[in-house]
Amino acid sequence: MVIKHEIGALILRVVLGITFFIHGFVKFQGGIENQVAWFSSIGLPGFLAYVVAIIELVGGIALIIGFATKIVSILIGIIMIGATVTVKLPLGFLGNGQMAGYELDVVLLAMAVYLAINGSKLWSLGHLIFQKDSNDVMKAA
């Protein structure tokens, strides 16, 4: 039974990691200065664009390889709450026809919360480095 939960957590971790890695990569590829200007235009300090982009890029890689999953998931959860409250909430759940609403943000937040609470040991670098028993996931199955 436990192995099923670990497989589910692995899927959530990798998909969330890929999603945020790509979001962070695009922020740098498209010119981080544009993100800084956009953050400033909505009333947020411009330097937060760097913070968000780095968390997305590096955090995405960390999730993919399974390192610091709980910490990264908490940071991503904070980003999703911030994005929802500052940008998406006024657009509604499904958006306004020109911009998407916060439906995807809620899904990504739910994934991050699950991983922050439960972690993910299967194929996880963090578990490999800090494990107490190399077969504990398999023994519980």
Burial of 98 (0-12, 13-18, 19+ CB in 10 A): exposed
* Closest to 78 (Cα-Cα) out of 58, 50, 105, 100: 105
Segment 86-135, tens digit of pLDDT = 999 999 999 999 999 999 999 999 999 999 999 999 999 998 898 765 45
Whether residue 26 has pLDDT greater than 70? yes
Alpha-carbon separation of residue 108 from 16, 46, 105, 130 (angstroms): 7, 24, 5, 27
Residues sharing a CB contact under 8 Å with residue 34, sequence separation 6 or more, in sequence order: none
Rounded (5°) CA angle 76-5-67 = 40
Q: What is the DSSP-derived secondary structure letter of residue 52?
A: H
Q: What is the DSSP-derived secondary structure letter of residue 91?
A: G
Segment 10-25, tens digit of pLDDT = 999 999 999 999 999 9
Query: Where are the domains positioned within the chain?
Result: 2-133
Name the token pair of 113: 């919360």
Q: State the pLDDT at residue 130.
A: 86
Share of the chain above pLDDT 70, in %: 92
Whether residue 50 has pLDDT greater than 80? yes
